[in-house]
Structure 1
Amino acid sequence: MIKKFAKGLLVGSIVGGGLGLLFAPKKGKETRQGVIDSVDDATTTTTDLTKSIQRFNESLVTLKKTAAEVIPVFTEDMADTVDEFKFQAEPRMKEITKQVEKIQNTIDKKTNV
């Protein structure tokens, strides 16, 4: 059974290869050049992709370093800004609270009359 399969495979390969050569749209030299060009294109594309990935990784490392330097400074600056805002807002909030109490007292007096 294996002998019949091997014989059929061999005959099929020979017949298929022969028919492929007879009905090929291009000459053998053109076909080989096309295969070479395709391999060259694939190699170039792979090389370009590898270089792009390397540049991306380098950019990512640079971004991480920059973030590590900038984020602490930004956080500290924001904390200082919030503290300054609180310092300026507290007296104003006390004054607003006093004014609201005065208005409330005035309304209470007017409604109790």
Structure 2
Amino acid sequence: MRSFMEGLLFGTVVGGLLGLLNAPHSGKENREKAKAYLADNTLAVEDLNESVQGLRKAIQSLTNEGLASVNAVSEEITRSIESFTQQAQPRINRINDKLAVLTEDIEKATANMETQPPAAADKPNQ
């Protein structure tokens, strides 16, 4: 492993030196090109960073608006359910009252049927 690392280091140094010696431009020109390249890439990275920040703000804004919309809809549904319950309660009470009367009538009819003797029509002919 050590010989591999030494070979890699040696190759990097030799390749760099050969690249500098065989470069078609002078060192000054290469430095100016490198500075211009770095400046262009720095601007591109800054633009990208600004775009990402804008995207984060837009997502946060949409999230907040979405939560506000969900809360508003939830509150509206709750109000509608409460209103329906208030409007339906008198009807429910009337239905319960009629059901109680009907249950009472059925109990009375059942009790009457149990206490009355069978009708003459039910007796066999003699």
> Which stretch of the first structure deviates more once superposed, 66-75 or 87-96?
87-96
- Counterpart residue number, 2:53: 35
Q: Distance in 1 between matches of 2:73 and 2:115?
A: 59
Please list the CA deviations of residues 54-96 of structure 1 after superposition, one character each: whole Å capped at 9, or x if unmatched: 1111111111111001022112212112211211221213433
Code of the aligned partner of 1:65: S
| Structure 1 counterpart SS, 2:105 | helix
| Structure 2 counterpart SS, 1:27 | helix
Write out the 4+ residue segments of structure 1 that deviate beyond 3 Å after TM superposition.
Answer: 94-99
Code of the aligned partner of 2:64: T
Code of the aligned partner of 1:31: N
Normalized against structure 2, the TM-score is what? 0.51
RMSD of the alignment, in Å?
2.1
Q: Distance in 2 between matches of 1:97 and 1:39?
A: 83
- Counterpart residue number, 2:85: 67
Q: Which has the larger radius of gyration?
A: 2
5+ residue gaps, structure 1, are 1-25, 100-113
Picking from 63, 69, 79, the partner of 1:45 is 63
Q: Distance in 2 between matches of 1:52 and 1:72?
A: 31
Which structure ranks higher in relative contact order (CA pairs < 8 Å, sequence separation ≥ 6)? 1
Higher helix share: 1
Q: Distance in 2 between matches of 1:86 and 1:66?
A: 30
